[in-house]
Amino acid sequence: MAEKFDMPTTYDPHAVEGKWYKYWEDEKFFRSTVDPDKKPFCIVIPPPNVTGQLHMGHALDNTLQDILIRWRRMQGYNALWLPGTDHAGIATQAKVEEQLRNEGLSKYDVGREKFLERVWEWKEQYGGRITTQLRRLGASCDWDRERFTMDEGCSEAVLEVFIRLYEQGLIYRDYYITNWCPHCQTTISDIEVEHKDKPGQLYYIKYPVKDSPGEFITVATTRPETMLGDTAVAVHPEDDRYRHLVGKTVVLPLVEREIPIIPDEYVDPEFGTGAVKITPAHDPNDFEVGRRHDLPSVQVIDKEAKMTREAGQKYLGLDRWECRKRIVKDLQAKGLLIKIDDLSHAVGHCYRCSSVIEPMLSKQWFVRMKPLAEPAIAAAREGRVRFVPERFTKVYLNWMENIRDWCISRQLWWGHRIPVYYCRDCAEAIASKTQPEKCGKCGSTHFEQDPDVLDTWFSSGLWPFSTLGWPRKTLDLAYYYPTSVLVTGRDIIFFWVARMIFDGLAFMDEVPFKDVFIHGLVLDALGRKMSKSLGNGVDPIDVIESHGADSLRFMLVTGNTPGNDLRFHFERLDGARNFANKIWNASRFALMNLQDYRPEAVPAPEQFTLADRWIMSRFQRAVKESTGYLEKYELGEAARILYEFTWNELCDWYIELVKPRLYGKTSPADREVAQHVLAAVLRGALELLHPVMPFITEDIWQRLPHRGRTIMRAPWPVYKENQVDKAAEEQMEIIMEVIRGIRQIRSEMNVPPGKKAEALIVSGVEKIRKILTDNISYVESLANCKAEVLSVLGEKPEQAATAVAQDIQVFVPLRGLIDVDREIARLNKELQTLEKDLGRVQGKLKNSGFLAKAPAEVVEKERGKEAELTSKINAIKERLVMFGV
């Protein structure tokens, strides 16, 4: 092995990560092809927006997926992680429109065809940024299979699904109130609307009753600008206050149009005045009331969020907010505004640009959701789709059981254009993948395609099977579908997860995945969502540059529990980097002492020492526990087990225990056994850690004796019960407890590291004495002492520090080990300082004025100081007593 030892003294992630990722990708180690002799394990990546760049949410999501895929690959599964990106209709179109604006152009100046050419050019130039960044993270995707929601195969799937649903009567076109974003200039679905509590006002307005001088009905509204489009006032049919007015009309203020007073159970008589203005063109509930009563719809706000001609000449062209001010002023001038109350209410905002949504009446394409939702609900109830954690099943079911029809048309140019063609002569609508040759109704050959495109989620809902070749019956589809698990954030259960489930059942007759592993969001250290507006985002690429990808991955996983949010702390990131350095340094020491190691020299079982049997047993427990946690998707717990085993048991204990044998202080045979165990356990620990920390583990594993070309194809360690040695673990725990006790005494008493102590170890239990006597070299080596094991202690040594464990007492005489007189002086000086500080704190706590005026948390903090100072004082007094003071 001598020629292989070229290991740098410090770990440099930059020197390791790029080298090994290129090696993995060049050698096609991520590649997966159909193999009937192997069991498939498949994950499809939640496709990031082609416009995007890696953020912490992506880093968490893809780290979790990569851990699962690397683990299953090592277990022998035919593991496929299928990558790709989403065309992101609104976001991508916005990017290209911005480019055009910088050139003094609009999309209308260049036309649809040229505009789409520009978008494709943009995609080719910038669309690979996020997949490049995923490589920096270590994502072991099969990049040869990378897909795009608008590539030829996915586009064919979209057309097929649309036409099938259309022919089944599940896609229809109708007028309806949709969520219109004036900035993005398109409709968005209900779940893309973010409702934020905002301060607002409630305006109480008089609507004069026709032919009844002095009588009026009062309505309360948060949006007085929409009153210009009112076509009725509604009251509850059982409300005695208004029963006599039903059937009469009121004169709409400022417009002077007569509108009816109608009865409808939609009205809550307990809310506001019990009378509600009905504006069918600008409110979804009013729209339904209007349908029931055959009311006209008057649209007074346009797609630019400005007032239309229907609003009247006086308000024509005004921005909706400016119009509100004018209307309030005009109502006040006419004596029709009774009062204005302040209130906080939820206002819908576009999830993409944060503009206030305008409910807008328009003709749109919809999917009837109830027939599609019912099988998807049953799949979850019957356990064919399992959510992890289970509580998200209720979240999913609650939404699915109350689902509304899905508006799928978007007023964009970039995206899958709706495959419906209208006959220019008779207006017949025909759904077709290509333009029809002639109209089946009138025979015309003149057609115009619907200008809108489909909601981006329409195509991404097909992702688990469109990426595998559907609607063609491919080998990939038959082999990999249904996929094994979906890993995604809790924030897109409705956007994406639900749609994939009902699409999979509708078109594949099978759920798209068996498990849905839900994770939380990555928050900042204060528990806030990371956002550009707060300026609290952390760029994963910056973290990879400063700490390395392995450290970022390990930090994101440890302490992470399924479904729960994770706070990003740089201290934890530093801890992860320290762990990587610990692994590197320990491995470097091991490799320095394995230069003459002969892997073929396998020791007999009787040659193993207690320390050997202990570490092999602890390794088997680490295998069993970490694998069990991975099976349950508790990746954070798996990482914790591996951290504790690697740092504490392997690096801090076994390597220290084995040093005398490696240094040749025993016999050559002992050294060979130590080399064998150290190499095997270190290699096994690296293999267990590989899914979490792929780069550093590959680099070290390649330096160790190994089989195969890469650690990522090495067999996952399998639990071997016959190597679990409970007796060895119990015996080592006794020895370690004694070593800890002596080390603690040395630390507390400030014993210089180089000075060898004396230790008297006393136990009345013969079995414990034998364990300690047989392995006293471990105690003496790791605690830097000369130790003696006794059944009873004759006379207690003077000025001896004591440590106590179960059935064991340890005494360490301090005379000659430290300067006792100087230590006594130091302790007395520290005691005086602490007692003075305690006096100040207790003075505050006895002061009634302080207790009355200080905030509760300040008082509690002072009480905490009192307890801490008292504890330190008592500890010093105990030491002084030990010294005979």
Residue position matching structure tokens 């929409």 = 226
Are 485 and 516 in contact by the 8 Å Cβ rule? The answer is: yes
Are 327 and 222 in contact by the 8 Å Cβ rule? The answer is: no
Q: What is the DSSP letter of 693?
A: S
Determine which helix (DSSP H) or strand (DSSP E) holds 159, and give its type and residue range: helix 152-167
Are 179 and 355 in contact by the 8 Å Cβ rule? The answer is: no
The C-alpha atoms of residue 627 and residue 634 are separated, in whole angstroms, by 10
List, as one string, the DSSP characters of 30-61: T-----TTS-EEEEE--PPBTT----HHHHHH
List, as one string, the DSSP characters of 255-293: TTEEEEEEE-TTS-TTSTTSEEEE-TTS-HHHHHHHHHH
List, as one string, the DSSP characters of 761-827: EE-S-HHHHHHHHHTHHHHHHHHTEEEEEESS-SSPPTTEEEEEETTEEEEEE-BTTB-HHHHHHHH
If DSSP codes are grouped into helix, strand and coil, which group holds residue 171? strand
Among candidate residues 58, 114, 99, the one with its CA nearest the CA of residue 489:
58
The C-alpha atoms of residue 443 and residue 777 are separated, in whole angstroms, by 100
Q: How far is CA 128 from CA 50, 148, 618, in A?
A: 7, 11, 44
CA 863, 868, 869, 874 dihedral sign is: positive
Q: How far is CA 587 from CA 644, 662, 683, 685, 807, in A?
A: 16, 14, 10, 11, 36
Q: Where are the beta strands (DSSP E) in 351-434?
A: 358-367, 386-388, 406-407, 409-410, 420-423, 429-431
Among candidate residues 373, 367, 364, 365, the one with its CA nearest the CA of residue 403:
373
Q: How far is CA 721 from CA 311, 676, 686, 716, in A?
A: 81, 20, 20, 16
Task: Check whether 532 is labelled as a binding-site residue.
Answer: yes
The C-alpha atoms of residue 680 and residue 723 are separated, in whole angstroms, by 13
Are 85 and 130 in contact by the 8 Å Cβ rule? The answer is: yes
The C-alpha atoms of residue 92 and residue 83 are separated, in whole angstroms, by 19
Distant-in-sequence, close-in-space partners of 392: CB < 8 Å, separation ≥ 6: 490, 493, 516, 518, 563
Q: Known binding site: residues? A: 532
Q: Known binding site for ATP: residues? A: 532
